[in-house]
Amino acid sequence: MPDQSPRDLYLDLLIKCLSNLVYGPPPADPWNDGLLRRGFGPGWDRQSPAHTMVGIRRLENLRELVERTIDLEIPGDFIETGVWRGGCCILMRGVLAAKGVHGRKVYAADSFRGLPPPKPDLYPADAGDVHHMMPALAVSLGEVKANFDRYGLLDEQVVFVEGFFSETLPSADVLVMGHILHDWDLNDKRRLIAKAYDALPSGGALIIYEALIDDERRTNVLGLLMSLNMLIETKGGFDYTGADCSTWLREAGFRDTRVEHLVGPDSMVVGMK
- Residues interacting with ligand SAM, by CB under 6 A? 52-54, 82-84, 87-88, 110-111, 114-116, 137, 139, 164-165
Cα–Cα distance measured from residue 177 to residue 100, given in angstroms and rounded to the nearest whole number: 32
Cβ atoms 182, 238 nearer than 8 A: yes
Cα–Cα distance measured from residue 253 to residue 273, given in angstroms and rounded to the nearest whole number: 7
Residue whose C-alpha is closest to residue 237's, from 201, 188, 168? 188
Between residues 165 and 228, which has the closer beta carbon with respect to ligand SAM?
165
Cβ atoms 109, 79 nearer than 8 A: yes
Between residues 86 and 237, which has the closer beta carbon with respect to ligand SAM?
86
CB of 144 to ligand SAM, least distance (A): 9
CB of 260 to ligand SAM, least distance (A): 32
CB of 127 to ligand SAM, least distance (A): 16
3-state secondary structure at position 218: coil
- Residues 6 or more apart in contact with residue 228 via CB below 8 angstroms: none
CB of 6 to ligand SAM, least distance (A): 26
CB of 53 to ligand SAM, least distance (A): 4
| Residue whose beta carbon is closest to ligand SAM | 82
Between residues 123 and 165, which has the closer beta carbon with respect to ligand SAM?
165
Between residues 41 and 236, which has the closer beta carbon with respect to ligand SAM?
41
The distance in angstroms from the start CA to the end CA of the chain is 57
Tell me whether strands 267-272 and 205-210 are parallel, antiparallel or unpaired: antiparallel
Between residues 89 and 252, which has the closer beta carbon with respect to ligand SAM?
89
CB of 139 to ligand SAM, least distance (A): 6
Between residues 32 and 241, which has the closer beta carbon with respect to ligand SAM?
32
CB of 113 to ligand SAM, least distance (A): 7
Q: How many beta carbons lie within 10 A of that of residue 196, not counting itself?
A: 23
Structural element, H or E, at residue 249: helix 242-252
**The amino acid at 125:** A
**The amino acid at 27:** P
159 - beta bridge partners?
Answer: 107
Structural element, H or E, at residue 272: strand 267-272
Between residues 66 and 88, which has the closer beta carbon with respect to ligand SAM?
88
Sheet holding 106-110, edge to edge: 78-81, 106-110, 158-162
